[in-house]
Amino acid sequence: MPIEGRAWCFGDNLDTDGIIPARYLNTSDPRELAAHAMEDADPTFAAGVSPGDVVVAGRNCGCGSSREHAPLALKAAGVGAVIAPSFARIFYRNSFNIGLPILECAEAAAGIEAGDRVRVDLESGLIVNLTKGREYRAQPVPPFMQRIIACGGLINYVRERMEGKDKT
């Protein structure tokens, strides 16, 4: 199912302290984290973000700490996908593990402006800027990683597979 929403734009090296400041890491409740998502990077984000909105960032997105709270906060805030030219490796892995889709696409990251309406199709990797009438192609998300997203994260995916094994 395509993801559709407004774009929230950020620069290069968006770090995990910017996504969820450590002062809120005394909880791992996704709703509490969502209330402070992006607080130091864009204080208007948490109140303004709507389900399906897309975060569009610059190079090395998600750099810094290994806190899984960062993708959790974005997902719980309703973010449908994150698009950037490149990602820090721990953030990339954490995002898929908790079921937040990530797309590497420099053209989309450069062409999308804050407030543009964006549609993302994980299966094909097609990103459409509905406001500007432009299309960009990211690498499609491989089927097993789409399945991780559909399950809501790696652990659910593992459970689904283990249950499948039990039945056979």
Contact set with other proteins (CB under 8 A) = 13, 15, 17-18, 21-23, 25-28, 39-41, 59-60, 63-69, 72, 86, 88-90, 93-94, 97-98, 153-156, 158-159, 162
Closest contact distance (angstroms) between CB of 28 and other proteins is: 5
Closest contact distance (angstroms) between CB of 98 and other proteins is: 6
User: Helix, strand, or coil here: 111?
Assistant: helix
Check residue 60 and give left, alpha or beta (phi > 0: left; psi -120 to 50: alpha).
left
Please identify, using beta-carbon distances, which residue of 97 and 131 lies nearer to other proteins: 97
Please identify, using beta-carbon distances, which residue of 13 and 131 lies nearer to other proteins: 13
Please identify, using beta-carbon distances, which residue of 69 and 119 lies nearer to other proteins: 69
For the chain, how far is it from start to end, CA to CA, in angstroms? Answer: 29
Encode burial over 33-45: b for 16+ CB neighbours within 10 A, e otherwise. bbebbbbebbeeb
